Amino acid sequence: MKINTNRPRILTTTVGSYPVPAWLHSMPTEQALIDATRVVVDIQRQHGIDLPTDGELYRFDVNHPETNGMIDYFIRPLSGIRSEVGRQEWTEFREMHTMAFRAKPAGVVENALGEGTLNLVSDCDRAVNVAGTNIKFTVTSPYMLARTLLDKYYDGFDALLSALSETISAQVSELNCRCLQIDEANIPGNPEDGPRAAKAINTVLDAFNGEKAVHFCFGNYGGQVIQKGNWKALIDFLNMLRCDHLVLELKHRPDADLQALKDVSSNILIGIGVIDVKVNPVETPDDVAASIEKAEEVLGNGRVGWVHPDCGFWMLQRSVVDRKIEALVKGRNKYLGIS
């Protein structure tokens, strides 16, 4: 892919989600979704974001407005999975201890997986049609999706994981956008699964013809961290990924996590979280500039390629989010001396 040589050496992006506009809640029509997508992308561009997202509004479900569809949007449409879950299946899932914060599986796998009615291509095209191809489209990691399922068909977790990654990659190969980002919020708490997770994520990344990013965080629900762990335990895993850059939670993390990233392969640019999405107070441009300066002092000049929020914005109010986006860009500009 041709790179614009005039672009700043450190780029800004958002991680994915944006608060759902009120009118989409009250009138969840296709036209309202198109209008909301246009507004969300334009807000980011007006503030100077180099690589905006569609706000993940394509996942909005009027029947489940309290979530951003990170799991259910991908699981429900797939063939081979039953979404109605019985009491005994709740118990079986809990006994697996795959996700302590999830009480029931997202679905029960009863037959070979197929794409069913999942249509990532159409949802990406909606955003591209109103915003152009210079956007980032986000997809949940097959590893994280697999951890939410109760499997009654495949012979082991790896077989299920392979089927999921192949199903998603078949659609990813047709996406017409600048950047694909895979989102993974479960592996930070399960570093021992690094090799199998990397294999599945790489299957999806390899299918995409464009810039490739992988986002990792330690979870965020109601401002709470979900996963225990640290970046040091994940370095070998991160170095297995066939991506162009990482999108990492760091603003809400201890200093030791930044130190650990010195061992990330030089082939992978590092994106650092400089905006905390777990709190309402808005960072100042000085705060953002100081975070970038600190990261470059530790990691070295040229290793930080991106700055962004720690995670998605969907749980915050729009008035807070828009000011955090503005501070992100102004802080990057201040650090680089861009007027």
Is it the case that residue 193 has pLDDT exceeding 50? yes
Q: State both tokens at 211.
A: 């810039």
Residue 104: the pLDDT is 86
Contact 180, 172 (CB under 8 A): yes
Does residue 5 belong to any structural domain of this protein?
Answer: no
Does residue 303 belong to any structural domain of this protein?
Answer: yes
Mean pLDDT (the chain) is 91
Nearest to 123 by CA among 30, 41, 228: 30
Residue 171: the pLDDT is 97
| Residue 16 CA to its chain's centroid (Å) | 6
Q: Where are the alpha helices (DSSP H) in the chain?
A: 22-26, 30-46, 72-75, 87-96, 120-131, 142-147, 157-172, 194-206, 235-240, 255-260, 285-299, 318-336
Is it the case that residue 19 has pLDDT exceeding 90? yes
Cα gap 257→255, rounded to integer Å: 5
What's the whole-number mean pLDDT along residues 10-28?
A: 94
Does residue 271 belong to any structural domain of this protein?
Answer: yes
Domain count, the chain: 1
Tens-place pLDDT, residues 215-242: 998 766 555 555 566 889 999 999 999 9
Domain CATH code at residue 214: 3.20.20.210
Tens-place pLDDT, residues 68-114: 788 999 999 999 999 899 888 878 888 876 666 677 898 999 999 99
Q: For residue 9, with 0-12 CB atoms within 10 Å meaning exposed, 13-18 middle and 19 or more buried, which class applies?
A: exposed
Is it the case that residue 303 has pLDDT exceeding 70? yes
Tens-place pLDDT, residues 115-135: 999 999 999 999 999 999 999
Is it the case that residue 3 has pLDDT exceeding 70? no
Residue 217: the pLDDT is 84
Cα gap 210→161, rounded to integer Å: 24
Does residue 114 belong to any structural domain of this protein?
Answer: no
Does residue 156 belong to any structural domain of this protein?
Answer: yes
pLDDT-based confidence at 188, cuts 50/70/90?
A: confident
Does residue 310 belong to any structural domain of this protein?
Answer: yes
What's the whole-number mean pLDDT along residues 12-18?
A: 97
What's the whole-number mean pLDDT along residues 259-284?
A: 96
Does residue 91 belong to any structural domain of this protein?
Answer: no
Does residue 234 belong to any structural domain of this protein?
Answer: yes
Percent of all residues in the chain with a pLDDT value above 90, rounded to a whole number = 76
pLDDT-based confidence at 66, cuts 50/70/90?
A: low
Other C-beta atoms closer than 10 Å to the C-beta of 66 total 7
Nearest to 286 by CA among 252, 229, 335: 335
Residue range of the domain that includes 332: 11-63+119-336
What's the whole-number mean pLDDT along residues 41-46?
A: 98
What's the whole-number mean pLDDT along residues 9-17?
A: 97
Q: Scanning the structure block, which residue is given the tokens 């009250």?
A: 26
